[in-house]
Structure 1
């Protein structure tokens, strides 16, 4: 692997901004990813556009897919972020919006596949909407994963370079509260204060968390009312739920659906659904053991694993029962933050590990 070329390819992807919500920007990014892939893999991808969102797929060999290598090229960074967070390479660190999550991982995936003596049975899928929950790519991911011996996710590593061996499931809810407007000074008693009802519901929802089970239930965006002198007639808040297993997902869902208004005359409207199923440690156990063995054979530092709260497209593949190992991408930190960065010295070894793991799974599957 030519490290300077790899760094240049990563910088090229980072230099093409791709916020998930900007369809034109994601399409431009897909052009850039395609060009880099053409150089590294010697093949152009299939371009798959669903509801305006652009995904890329490379399939190698005429036989059935055995290994799905998964990544995404969209980011959380808005257009113009490069002006304040330029892509730089300095002191062994590459910086730039989206470099860690996960444009370095995209290039690593391509380099790992390019190094294989036989790519038959490998599918590389790079999606364009992961950061917003994969609304258009979930079906595509699940279709490509079906029947595979493994799904390898090139998302960024956990702290210290740990692989992500388990992920929590993710559910998002919207709680709408309806009251009745009235003049706040003249006759507030004629109103039903949606803001007060919202406060009651916020506390009830937050109490559903169970730290002992690793369940977080977090009210987030909150709004109520229209003017300062009017009893609020409506309000709403969103809820972020993270659970480690299906039983907890069912418990929280039942409790959310059982919410009742506290104030006479108030009503509640509940919306939302599961975004990603849990990825249990059992889904990654065998692949993680293989990766540890390969790391020793490659004289790499011992691999560690971590269970994390964030979801990824690996949740979908694990939910199908496909063995899934996540966090195989760049080592660094600062995902979604001002200090997002990639440790350059880790790139060659990590990429070699991914290549060896793909080859190992292919060999076993054949």
Structure 2
């Protein structure tokens, strides 16, 4: 009996010590929370305004219009706003807004305003809301996050917060094409920053993104020989048929999962229904967890290209640059996620951690040697489809989180990774 009593008493003491040692969640910042709540109506109005402008990647006029709306908001908050020419033709300018403070931290916010939807999409399905969600092209990927960033800056301005060295807000216009018009600019901005906060949407039900896959486009082109499809089909060499053979050979790679995935996204063949196709091409979206994974995929696809089912056809394999590298699990991102979890705990809420195959600029920040935290926009789903939506219940907590992160990191920036 005495031994049992001692064991129970000892266990109780250990539990008590653990409870005392556990970090206490910071109290909710009443001023910031009140400001985030008060911002909600105007935040939704601005979101509606920018969603109702078509700005698919390459829509120069639409991109400029959205950038003009957002840039004017930031300029009114004291930011110097610069339009920077895209690094490839056919894209609208990127917006770099800079605000100087009196503290230590150099914070880089990145969001994109290009979407995957073409001209006329807004006319078919403009911004709308129901009791739980907001809908519209780009509502969450990523206009919801960019608008959140603008209102975080509004709150800091209204509170007179200056405890940061500088905040740079990059609003870019080509993320959906691998930031093809922005990569050099991102590298330059990362070199002058301590930390990157990315405004991509949070995954459901309410998660931060702490890892991402890298992305590359892998292309297969087949050259055959044209011929009359009715009179002399045997004189032709059907490139489309050979491409089908190559597609079947490359079915070895998974289409879903946390590792390498390879999905067919674009298919082209033939010009008329009475001509044997001379040319055919396919594009795959390849997602990788490690940089070396791309070489493995290319080696397998090129090996398959050496064996053809249609005689006298030639197969060429190439991959597209630039592409996003992976954002691996790392201590710098984990430390930022720890801060975010503590801020959420002060609201009496819990935020999760996850990762996905959607590449983003955070990988470029990590490559540049600074910690990066992704998925800070409102929680959302249905990306790259007509079902895209933003979860309205996450709007105010996520705005509060971003604002508090900027305050903390401005006061106490994290060390560089490299």
TM-score normalised according to structure 1 size: 0.91
Structure 1 residue 26, shift from structure 2 partner: 0.9
What per-residue deviation string (whole Å, max 9, x for no partner) do you get for residues 147-187 of structure 1?
Answer: 53211101111111211111111110221101122334444
| Cα distance in 2 for residues equivalent to 1:4 and 1:213 | 38
Describe the shift of the 1:360–1:188 C-alpha distance in structure 2 as closer, same or farther (beyond 3 A).
same
User: What's the counterpart of residue 402 of structure 2?
Assistant: 354
| Cα distance in 1 for residues equivalent to 2:334 and 2:126 | 38
User: What's the counterpart of residue 42 of structure 2?
Assistant: 5
2:230 aligned with 1:194, yes or no? Answer: no
2:86 aligned with 1:47, yes or no? Answer: no
User: What's the counterpart of residue 27 of structure 1?
Assistant: 64
Equivalent positions of 1:195-344 (< 5 A) are: 195-209=240-254, 214-258=259-303, 259-262=305-308, 263-274=310-321, 275-282=323-330, 284-296=333-345, 298-344=346-392
**In 2, are the aligned partners of 1:261 and 1:267 still within 8 Å (CA)?**
no
Describe the shift of the 1:17–1:193 C-alpha distance in structure 2 as closer, same or farther (beyond 3 A).
closer
What per-residue deviation string (whole Å, max 9, x for no partner) do you get for residues 11-40 of structure 1?
Answer: 22223332222111111111111123234x
| Cα distance in 1 for residues equivalent to 2:224 and 2:97 | 53
Say which is worse superposed, 205-214 or 215-224, in terms of deviation. 205-214
Which sections of structure 1, spanning at least 5 residues, go unmatched?
Answer: none
Describe the shift of the 1:89–1:219 C-alpha distance in structure 2 as closer, same or farther (beyond 3 A).
closer
Q: CA RMSD in A?
A: 2.4
Structure 1 residue 351, shift from structure 2 partner: 1.1
Structure 1 residue 70, shift from structure 2 partner: 0.6
Describe the shift of the 1:193–1:56 C-alpha distance in structure 2 as closer, same or farther (beyond 3 A).
same
Say which is worse superposed, 180-189 or 344-353, in terms of deviation. 180-189
| Cα distance in 2 for residues equivalent to 1:257 and 1:182 | 27
User: What's the counterpart of residue 10 of structure 2?
Assistant: none
Which sections of structure 2, spanning at least 5 residues, go unmatched?
Answer: 1-34
Structure 1 residue 105, shift from structure 2 partner: 1.0
User: What's the counterpart of residue 126 of structure 1?
Assistant: 171
Structure 1 residue 99, shift from structure 2 partner: 1.5
| Cα distance in 2 for residues equivalent to 1:86 and 1:196 | 41
User: What's the counterpart of residue 60 of structure 1?
Assistant: 99
2:211 aligned with 1:163, yes or no? Answer: no
**In 2, are the aligned partners of 1:261 and 1:268 still within 8 Å (CA)?**
no
What per-residue deviation string (whole Å, max 9, x for no partner) do you get for residues 62-99 of structure 1?
Answer: 79972211101122233333333222344253333222
**In 1, are the aligned partners of 2:58 and 2:92 still within 8 Å (CA)?**
no
Q: Secondary structure of 1:365's match?
A: coil
Match of 2:126 among 86, 94, 99: 86
- Count of residue pairs the alignment pairs up: 364
**In 2, are the aligned partners of 1:14 and 1:87 still within 8 Å (CA)?**
yes
Q: Secondary structure of 2:119's match?
A: coil
Larger Rg: 2
| Cα distance in 1 for residues equivalent to 2:105 and 2:312 | 57
| Cα distance in 2 for residues equivalent to 1:357 and 1:175 | 45
User: What's the counterpart of residue 175 of structure 1?
Assistant: 220
| Cα distance in 1 for residues equivalent to 2:257 and 2:176 | 28
